[in-house]
């Protein structure tokens, strides 16, 4: 059983990440470099009921942990179906993720790359996703999908088969994978039924032993809690909302990744004395 209390404190920004607590436990207190860094900003934090259930502290990312233990740069590939261009003056969540992971892994090089498959549903993403993993050889893939499928009303069986195939291909090629669902806005939620696709992603993640990052539920919590307002159409408000979402998604994603890394792998890096 995982330490649910520890995960809860980490996600609420009230304590150090669980990986740090593990490293500070007896037997690890003096064991060289540690997973460190700030927890999530209070404005970004979400209840543990949203994010914590799918986390596997210290054991959810074996390929990432192995890459760290070998002293190699941590390479992350983000695959999505949105437009690749970021809004002017805004740092997107992939760059935020890279900097946030670097803060949590002092001395560790982190590289994130992005593959944009604009407008593609999950079935059409599988082949280019697999090719990219084969060519770039990342330790971790973050596959953002489901939006286009829900918009088109794609058959759930086809959607699920594509997800299963993509996950299996990534794992077969020696990378860990996190699946991320769609964004939330009250307007799109009224027009598109995302629920069946999110439920399928959650079920498949559990059965495949991978982490499902619930972006939709995270953003819905922020909206319902009054932390971000997507209804204000003014340029300034849209800029602030966009910046908030990307900053906070980057933080929560980095914290989730750091939590799932085997803390001992950081201390096995070449040149690290224990």
Q: Using the predicted structure, report yes or no on whether residue 200 has a pLDDT greater than 50.
A: yes
The CATH number that domain 4-267 falls under is 3.40.50.1110
Q: What is the pLDDT of residues 99-146, one digit of tens each?
A: 999 999 999 999 999 999 999 999 999 999 999 999 999 999 999 999
Rounded to an integer, the average pLDDT of 209-234 is 94
Q: Between vectors from CA 199 to CA 59 and to CA 63, what angle results, nearest 5°?
A: 20
Q: With cut-offs at 50, 70 and 90, classify the pLDDT of residue 5.
A: very low
- Does the pLDDT at position 12 exceed 70? no
Q: Give the distance, in angstroms, between the CA of residue 24 and the centroid of all CA atoms in the same chain.
A: 25
pLDDT value of residue 230: 85
Res. 272 pLDDT band, cuts 50 70 90: low
Q: So where are the chain's domains?
A: 4-267
pLDDT tens figures, 48-105 = 999 988 899 998 999 999 999 999 999 999 999 987 655 666 789 999 999 999 999 9
Q: What integer pLDDT is reported at residue 236 of this predicted model?
A: 87
pLDDT tens figures, 226-238: 999 888 888 888 8
Evaluate if pTM is beyond 0.75.
yes
**What gap in Å lies between CA 217 and CA 167, rounded to an integer?**
22
Q: At what angle do helices 235-260 and 215-224 cross, to 10 degrees?
A: 130
Whether 26 has a pLDDT exceeding 90, the answer reads no
Mean pLDDT, the chain, rounded, equals 85
Q: Compute CA 273 distance to the chain's CA centroid, rounded to the nearest angstrom.
A: 31
């Amino acid at each position: 059983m995982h330490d649910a209390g520890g995960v809860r404190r980490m996600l609420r920004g009230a304590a150090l990440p669980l990986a740090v607590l593990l490293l500070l436990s007896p037997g690890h207190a003096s064991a060289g470099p540690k997973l460190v860094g700030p927890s999530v900003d209070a404005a970004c934090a979400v209840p543990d009921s949203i994010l914590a259930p799918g986390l596997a502290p210290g054991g959810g990312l074996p390929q990432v942990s192995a890459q760290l233990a070998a002293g190699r740069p941590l390479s992350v590939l983000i695959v999505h179906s949105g437009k690749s261009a970021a809004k002017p003056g805004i740092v997107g969540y992939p760059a935020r993720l890279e900097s946030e992971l670097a803060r949590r892994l002092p001395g560790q090089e982190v590289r994130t790359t992005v593959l944009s498959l604009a407008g593609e549903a999950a079935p059409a993403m599988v082949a280019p996703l697999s090719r990219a993993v084969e060519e770039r050889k990342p330790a971790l893939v973050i596959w953002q999908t489901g939006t286009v499928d829900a918009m088109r009303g794609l058959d759930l069986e086809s959607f699920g088969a594509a997800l299963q195939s993509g996950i299996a291909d990534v794992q077969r090629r020696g990378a860990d994978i996190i699946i991320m669902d769609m964004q939330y806005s009250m307007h799109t939620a009224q027009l598109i039924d995302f629920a069946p696709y999110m439920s399928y992603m959650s079920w498949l993640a559990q059965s495949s032993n991978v982490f499902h990052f619930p972006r939709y539920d995270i953003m819905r919590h922020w909206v319902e809690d009054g932390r971000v307002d997507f209804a204000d159409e003014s340029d300034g408000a849209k800029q602030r909302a966009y910046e908030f979402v990307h900053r906070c998604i980057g933080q929560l994603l980095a914290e989730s990744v750091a939590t799932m890394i085997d803390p001992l792998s950081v201390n096995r890096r070449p040149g690290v004395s224990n």
